[in-house]
Amino acid sequence: MSQTRYAGPIREAAVHPHALVEQGFATDEMLAAVLDRYPAELFDINLYDYDEAGQVSLRTGARGRLDGAELLAAIQQGRLWVNLREVETGWPELWAAAMAEFRAIARATPGLKAIRNAGQLILSSPRARVPYHFDAAGVVLFHMRGRKRVFVYPGDEAHLPEQSMELVVARQTTEELPYDLAFEADARVVDLEPGQALTWPIYAPHRVENLDRFCVSLSMDFQTWPTRFRNGALYTNAVARSRGGRPRPTDRMGPPELAARWAASLALKRMGALENRIAHLERDFEPAVDVPDGARALGA
């Protein structure tokens, strides 16, 4: 059974070996040095809380003033999820090694042709959990330190409504999708150890729980021509819906129609058809050592 209704080369979640750990990329010394020099504007720092129905609320952090070793300690002691974007520019040595690993996985996956790759280095606290979401791209999650439990769900309309995808692709909302505890019956569960990389069907919803240890992973996303066309079509549909239209779902469109809607999306984006509503998130806290959750409130 394929887990997604969008044709893609990855039929189901699969684990691949990788050699990034033995190359020394995940040691405390290395990470502290990287945190010291990484550009502040490329940090996302999140703190997630969940209620009993599994519904998430998000607080966002500023980079703050801690040095690399202190920030690392705050993550290791706290309840933080820290994302360093654009690893391809922020840490070129790790990126080169990861791209070599990606090429090996792509060679082993017939039909997988990436046209653009980007990476996020994720440092997360021992009990951090990432909420249910999807990525508008293919993903390879290179796990490097700690243990993570990844839950992958079917990419059908019930688990991944196209209207929600439109809002994410058009940056009208963050990546969270509507979530129901009943989805858990449909999850494929994979426990990841350092040295393992996980792939899943393109667009498949997923969430992550750390298993009681500080975790380090490189999340590499990639676009293919089909994902670029579909994302463009979803954007065009989002614009049409914002103007009262009722566009056809993209899963009923063939390649020519998807390509035409992608082309339309380029013009719509140039015109600024939809305002980016998540560009200026208010920051709630900054990381701190020896305080609850590793977070000190800002602007209190």
Contact (CB, 8 A) for 94 and 185: no
Query: Which residue, 135 or 293, has its beta carbon nearer to Fe ion?
Result: 135
User: Should residue 221 be labelled a site residue for Fe ion when binding is judged by CB under 5 A?
Assistant: no
Query: Which residue, 70 or 135, has its beta carbon nearer to Fe ion?
Result: 135
Q: Map tokens 């809607």 to a residue.
A: 261
Query: Which residue, 72 or 204, has its beta carbon nearer to Fe ion?
Result: 204
DSSP type of residue 109: S
User: Should residue 135 be labelled a site residue for Fe ion when binding is judged by CB under 5 A?
Assistant: yes
CB of 217 to Fe ion, least distance (A): 10
- Using the contact rule CB under 5 A, the part of the chain among 56-64, 66-74, 129-137, 276-284 near Fe ion is 129-137
Query: Which residue, 101 or 135, has its beta carbon nearer to Fe ion?
Result: 135
Query: Which residue, 153 or 285, has its beta carbon nearer to Fe ion?
Result: 153
Total residues interacting with Fe ion, rule: CB under 5 A? 1
With a CB cutoff of 8 Å and minimum separation 6, the contacts of 68 are 31, 32, 33, 34, 35, 36, 37
Query: Which residue, 135 or 166, has its beta carbon nearer to Fe ion?
Result: 135
Give me the long-range contacts of 20-27 (CB less than 8 A, separation at least 24).
20/94, 20/97, 20/98, 20/101, 20/142, 20/144, 20/195, 20/218, 21/144, 21/145, 21/194, 21/195, 22/195, 23/97, 25/93, 25/94, 25/97, 25/144, 26/144, 26/145, 26/194, 26/216
Contact (CB, 8 A) for 266 and 53: no
- Using the contact rule CB under 5 A, the part of the chain among 5-13, 121-129, 130-138, 234-242 near Fe ion is 130-138
- Using the contact rule CB under 5 A, the part of the chain among 9-17, 88-96, 99-107, 128-136 near Fe ion is 128-136
For residues 99 and 103, give the distance between their C-alpha atoms in angstroms, rounded to a whole number.
6
The pattern of x and - marking residues 80 through 99 that bind Fe ion according to CB under 5 A reads: --------------------
CB of 175 to Fe ion, least distance (A): 7
CB of 119 to Fe ion, least distance (A): 13
Chain residues in the site for Fe ion (CB under 5 A): 135
